[in-house]
Amino acid sequence: MDIEDLIFPREAFLAPPPFDEGSPGDCYLQSSEGTTFKVLRHVLIHSSRYFERLFEGLPPSRPRDLPKLHVEEDAPTLHALLIILYPVHEDATKIGIEHTLKLIEIQDKYNIPGSAMTFFLTSIIGINVQKARDGLIDDPTGLYSLAWRIGFQLEAQLFSHHLHGIDLNDEKVAGELVRNSNSLKAYIALSDLRRRREAALDDIIEALEPRKHFCVAHSGSDMMFFAFISLMKNASRNALVAPWPQVNEGGAISFLGLQSEDESRAVAWCSSCYAGVDMRRLSDRLQKAVEKYPQEITM
């Protein structure tokens, strides 16, 4: 146990129905931290050879003296395992990505049937694919890693739309990506996408025609001009973090956050820059550049 858990203990996991004390059962399974789950032996015996061996030779239980067997998993993982193996009404798709990945790791250990696991994983991916197309998703890094790990290439590409803002230079982030996807290539693909996006920023800036629309004061010297180009690139990076960026009705100036109150996106130029520009034409140019901008990994 980490020192942080000792100082700030996490809330205890309580086994929900049909694994709580009030549910029918003839045996207890105890997680690594001591949470007990009341189960029916015959259900698990028919679902997994692991439990068939575990319960072998166990004497019949008495109502007030049920046997208790230790399982080497934490309570949330054991709960997820029982949901997959047990014919319960609990929606398996509510299992979080963290414990979905853990189930993949322990599938062979607990002899989780391949058919049950495939149906479960397909459901998890399918539900989140629709969410990813409609808006934001929970734990996009985990979903990307999961899709890569089980060979769902098109889905991994889709989820990569939601990873533009993660810090790929962070060793913890990189380590989790490689570990959860079980492949260094998953990290390399995201790094390549980040490289292509950075190179394509020049096309975004070119669409705004800065040489044509900067005032004399801000384009008279290369130093001043490229200082503002650098600011525009930074504004573009932040604007393009969105999974599905679109130049909205506010046009190019609004999209990039130019003259905005958001310091991470604002470019503070003078009123003479872009004065009298045809904003609709400029916004159309920017929209076409955005549509060509790299948004997903290549496989």
pLDDT tens-digit readout, 206-231: 998 888 888 887 787 888 888 888 88
Domain-terminating residue out of 41, 66, 91: 91
CA proximity to 190, closest of 218, 211, 166, 206 = 166
Residue 100 lies in a domain: no
pLDDT(261) > 80: no
Q: Is residue 153 part of a domain?
A: no
140-182 pLDDT per residue, tens: 999 999 999 999 999 999 999 999 999 999 999 999 999 999 9
For residue 6, what pLDDT is reported? Answer: 43
Q: Does a structural domain hold residue 24? A: yes
Peptide bond into 18 cis (omega under 30): yes
pLDDT over 60 (residue 41): yes
Range of the domain at 5: 1-91
> The CATH number of the domain where 61 resides is what?
3.30.710.10
pLDDT of residue 3: 45
Give the count of domains, the chain.
Answer: 2
Contact 218, 269 (CB under 8 A): yes
In a domain, 65, yes or no: yes
Would you state the pLDDT for residue 235? Answer: 85
Within a domain: 5: yes
Helix (H) or strand (E) holding 28: strand 27-30
User: How much is the pTM?
Assistant: 0.85
- Kindly state whether residue 270 falls inside one of the protein's structural domains: yes
CA distances from 37 to 31, 87, 119, 270 (A): 8, 15, 24, 67
